[in-house]
Structure 1
């Protein structure tokens, strides 16, 4: 008998598992860009706990194990900023990232009054970019961060997210 994945709000008690998963998931990004000093790999447990206390995070659990996570917050302009959508490598390709993205958007729109959503991805992160585009995000800016990395900003209107969730 298989277990199903459940999505719920993350709490302070989840910080250590999220940080370990984040470290695992961002290894591929670091390799892709040849930079192991990226913030997700250098973030401390204390920094993550502080981030969780001021924002909103979701986790996906398979039994007691956290296998995916995403963070979101809404700024003063009504922009829902979605960050660090991570899925354990063994769980990728099963729609879990999309489920988490939909769930964080729904929370930010309903509970925090987000008017639009924004997220970022590196230019070589094709699977991340594909996921975002499948979920209605469009590129609004590209910024060269270094010789190896251009950061792509993607956005979509919150009404589009609501429509997609109900379809």
Structure 2
């Protein structure tokens, strides 16, 4: 019987595995846009450790191996900003990216009171865009960052807790 993938909060001990996986996963994006200087490929271990301490980082583990990760923060207006969703290439196309996305959304809402979610993707990253649209995200803007890269911003509202927004009628 194989080991199943578990999803949980990242710890500082996961930092090196996350960084190595990030480097592996972003090779595809770098090739797609012919830009190997993108931040996920140049991020330092120290910078990643700072993100672990400040944000909400969720990992997927297969046994002891980190095979996926995603990060999120919530800004002052309640917008959960989701970034760097990565899944090991051998684990892609099995629903793990969607599970990680659901997990970080849930934690951002429950622990940091997110009322909406926002993320960005490169305009040529069709697999990523398909995943996000399939999870309810809609494009709200596009910005040209370089001659080769436009980023698409996508958003969705966080689900309201049961009973939220309902008025209690007085008899």
Under TM normalisation by the shorter chain, which class is it? over 0.9
Matched with 2:166 is none
Q: Secondary structure at the match of 2:159?
A: helix
Map residues 29-44 of structure 1 onto 2, 5 A cutoff: 29-44=29-44
Rg larger in structure? 2
CA–CA separation in structure 2 for the residues paired with 1:63 and 1:51: 24
Cα offset, 1:104, TM superposition: 0.5
Cα offset, 1:80, TM superposition: 0.3
CA–CA separation in structure 2 for the residues paired with 1:159 and 1:59: 22
Matched with 1:79 is 79
Cα offset, 1:51, TM superposition: 1.1
1:138 aligns with 2:142: no
Cα offset, 1:111, TM superposition: 1.2
TM norm structure 1: 0.95
Matched with 1:156 is 156
Q: Give the paired residue count.
A: 162
CA–CA separation in structure 2 for the residues paired with 1:77 and 1:93: 34
Matched with 1:69 is 69
1:114 aligns with 2:114: yes
Residues 84-143 of structure 1, C-alpha deviations (whole Å, 9 max, x = no match):
000000000000000000010011111110010000000000000000000000000000
1:56 aligns with 2:56: yes
Matched with 1:129 is 129
TM norm structure 2: 0.93
CA–CA separation in structure 2 for the residues paired with 1:51 and 1:59: 13
Cα offset, 1:159, TM superposition: 1.7
Matched with 2:22 is 22
CA RMSD of aligned residues (A): 1.2
Flag structure 2 segments of 5+ consecutive residues without an equivalent: 163-171
Runs of 4+ in 1 over 4 A off after TM superposition: none
